[in-house]
Amino acid sequence: MNSWKDLKKYNSNVIAIEKCVAEYDVWDVVKAPAARYKVKIYENMEGKFCGYANLLVQNDNREYINVIGRGDTQEEAFNNTLDCFYSLIEAFSFEKIHDGVSVIYSEDPCI
């Protein structure tokens, strides 16, 4: 076996494997509901990267939106994840954040 990407070949039930390649603590005392949130970067079997923040942003319809960024590199996925979060915050009323309504923490990035 040459790589973790080859593991799928050994079990036909496995449809995909992603590897966590980086984890960042982002400190933001202004726009985050607490001073810190996490961004995890995963690499898929095709060599592409996806970042997930442990935050959900609530839109005006009270639906929660995942904070996700994709990229061809770890750095691009990380930057796109941050851009996603701050774009969502700007798209909705910033005042709601301090009421604890618009942004929540999520341990599961797949919610």
Residue 17: name the closest of 42, 38, 41, 51 by CA: 42
Residue 4, classed as helix, strand or coil, is helix
Model pLDDT for residues 47-97, shown as the tens digit of each residue: 999 999 998 888 777 788 899 999 999 999 999 999 998 888 877 755 444
Domain limits, the chain: 17-105
pLDDT class for 2, splitting at 50, 70, 90? low
10 Å Cβ neighbour count for 49?
Answer: 23
- Model pTM score: 0.78
Could you read off the pLDDT of 5-54 as tens digits, one per residue?
Answer: 777 667 777 788 899 999 999 998 777 777 889 999 999 989 999 999 99
pLDDT > 50? residue 100: no
**What would the two tokens of residue 34 be?**
């607490």
